[in-house]
Protein backbone atom coordinates (compact mmCIF):
# COMPACT_ATOMS: atom_id res chain seq x y z
CA UNK A 1 0.00 0.00 0.00
CA UNK A 2 1.32 3.38 -0.94
CA UNK A 3 1.00 5.72 2.09
CA UNK A 4 1.64 8.81 0.01
CA UNK A 5 -1.04 8.12 -2.60
CA UNK A 6 -4.64 9.32 -2.73
CA UNK A 7 -6.01 5.84 -1.91
CA UNK A 8 -4.60 6.00 1.62
CA UNK A 9 -6.02 9.48 2.23
CA UNK A 10 -9.44 8.44 0.88
CA UNK A 11 -9.38 5.34 3.11
CA UNK A 12 -8.68 7.47 6.22
CA UNK A 13 -11.48 9.89 5.30
CA UNK A 14 -13.88 6.97 4.67
CA UNK A 15 -13.02 5.34 8.02
CA UNK A 16 -13.43 8.64 9.89
CA UNK A 17 -16.77 9.35 8.22
CA UNK A 18 -17.97 5.78 8.87
CA UNK A 19 -16.99 6.04 12.56
CA UNK A 20 -18.79 9.35 12.87
CA UNK A 21 -21.94 7.88 11.28
CA UNK A 22 -21.85 4.80 13.54
CA UNK A 23 -21.29 7.02 16.59
CA UNK A 24 -24.30 9.20 15.72
CA UNK A 25 -26.45 6.15 14.97
CA UNK A 26 -25.70 4.68 18.42
CA UNK A 27 -26.33 8.05 20.09
CA UNK A 28 -29.66 8.46 18.25
CA UNK A 29 -30.69 4.91 19.13
CA UNK A 30 -30.17 5.55 22.85
CA UNK A 31 -31.70 9.04 22.87
CA UNK A 32 -28.57 11.18 23.23
CA UNK A 33 -28.07 14.44 21.40
CA UNK A 34 -26.36 14.17 18.00
CA UNK A 35 -23.13 15.80 16.91
CA UNK A 36 -22.96 17.79 13.71
CA UNK A 37 -19.89 18.06 11.53
CA UNK A 38 -18.51 21.06 13.48
CA UNK A 39 -18.79 19.41 16.90
CA UNK A 40 -22.05 21.12 17.90
CA UNK A 41 -24.94 19.25 19.48
CA UNK A 42 -28.39 18.82 17.98
CA UNK A 43 -31.07 17.94 20.52
CA UNK A 44 -33.54 15.26 19.66
CA UNK A 45 -37.13 16.40 19.16
CA UNK A 46 -39.50 14.58 21.52
CA UNK A 47 -42.41 12.75 20.02
CA UNK A 48 -45.98 13.18 21.25
CA UNK A 49 -45.72 9.85 23.07
CA UNK A 50 -42.58 10.93 24.91
CA UNK A 51 -44.22 14.22 25.94
CA UNK A 52 -47.29 12.37 27.20
CA UNK A 53 -45.10 10.02 29.22
CA UNK A 54 -43.17 12.94 30.71
CA UNK A 55 -46.42 14.63 31.76
CA UNK A 56 -47.70 11.41 33.31
CA UNK A 57 -44.37 10.93 35.08
CA UNK A 58 -44.58 14.44 36.57
CA UNK A 59 -48.14 13.77 37.74
CA UNK A 60 -47.14 10.51 39.40
CA UNK A 61 -44.17 12.17 41.10
CA UNK A 62 -46.55 14.78 42.50
CA UNK A 63 -48.84 12.06 43.85
CA UNK A 64 -45.92 10.23 45.43
CA UNK A 65 -44.75 13.45 47.10
CA UNK A 66 -48.25 14.02 48.51
CA UNK A 67 -48.42 10.43 49.76
CA UNK A 68 -45.03 10.77 51.45
CA UNK A 69 -46.21 13.94 53.20
CA UNK A 70 -49.33 12.14 54.42
CA UNK A 71 -47.26 9.18 55.58
CA UNK A 72 -44.98 11.48 57.57
CA UNK A 73 -48.02 12.95 59.33
CA UNK A 74 -49.40 9.49 60.08
CA UNK A 75 -46.04 8.34 61.46
CA UNK A 76 -45.96 11.38 63.73
CA UNK A 77 -49.45 10.57 65.00
CA UNK A 78 -48.65 6.92 65.67
CA UNK A 79 -45.25 7.49 67.28
CA UNK A 80 -46.37 10.48 69.35
CA UNK A 81 -45.97 9.83 73.08
CA UNK A 82 -49.44 11.21 73.78
CA UNK A 83 -50.99 8.67 71.44
CA UNK A 84 -51.43 5.66 73.67
CA UNK A 85 -54.44 3.41 73.45
CA UNK A 86 -54.09 2.09 76.98
CA UNK A 87 -54.03 5.63 78.42
CA UNK A 88 -57.18 6.50 76.52
CA UNK A 89 -58.93 3.35 77.78
CA UNK A 90 -57.94 4.12 81.37
CA UNK A 91 -59.19 7.69 80.97
CA UNK A 92 -62.55 6.36 79.77
CA UNK A 93 -62.74 3.97 82.72
CA UNK A 94 -62.01 6.79 85.14
CA UNK A 95 -64.81 8.92 83.69
CA UNK A 96 -67.23 5.96 83.88
CA UNK A 97 -66.34 5.43 87.57
CA UNK A 98 -66.83 9.12 88.29
CA UNK A 99 -70.21 9.09 86.52
CA UNK A 100 -71.23 5.93 88.36
CA UNK A 101 -70.27 7.43 91.73
CA UNK A 102 -72.30 10.56 90.98
CA UNK A 103 -75.33 8.51 89.97
CA UNK A 104 -75.03 6.13 92.91
CA UNK A 105 -75.86 8.82 95.42
CA UNK A 106 -78.84 10.25 93.53
CA UNK A 107 -80.53 7.26 91.95
CA UNK A 108 -82.50 4.33 93.26
CA UNK A 109 -80.79 0.96 92.63
CA UNK A 110 -82.85 -1.60 90.76
CA UNK A 111 -83.21 -5.02 92.21
CA UNK A 112 -83.14 -7.51 89.38
CA UNK A 113 -83.53 -10.53 91.63
CA UNK A 114 -87.18 -9.86 92.49
CA UNK A 115 -88.37 -9.32 88.92
CA UNK A 116 -90.07 -12.06 87.01
CA UNK A 117 -88.67 -13.13 83.70
CA UNK A 118 -90.99 -13.37 80.79
Please report, in tens digits, the pLDDT of each residue of the chain (118 residues total).
567 778 888 999 999 999 988 988 888 888 777 776 676 666 666 667 778 889 999 999 999 999 999 999 888 877 776 666 777 777 788 877 776 666 665 555 555 555 555 4
Residue 83 included in any domain = yes
* 46 falls within a domain: yes
* Count of domains forming the chain: 1
- Is 40 domain-assigned? yes
| Domain membership flag for residue 72 | yes
Structural domain of 38: 6-103
Domain for residue 51, yes or no? yes
Instruction: Provide the β-strand partners of residue 42.
Output: 34
Q: State how far the Cα of 106 lies from the Cα of 34, in Å rounded to an integer.
A: 92
Identify whether 38 is part of a domain. Answer: yes
Amino acid sequence: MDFGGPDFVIAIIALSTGGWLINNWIRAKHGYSLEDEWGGKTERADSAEAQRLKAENEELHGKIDAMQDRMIVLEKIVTDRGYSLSEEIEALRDTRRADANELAGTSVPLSLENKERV
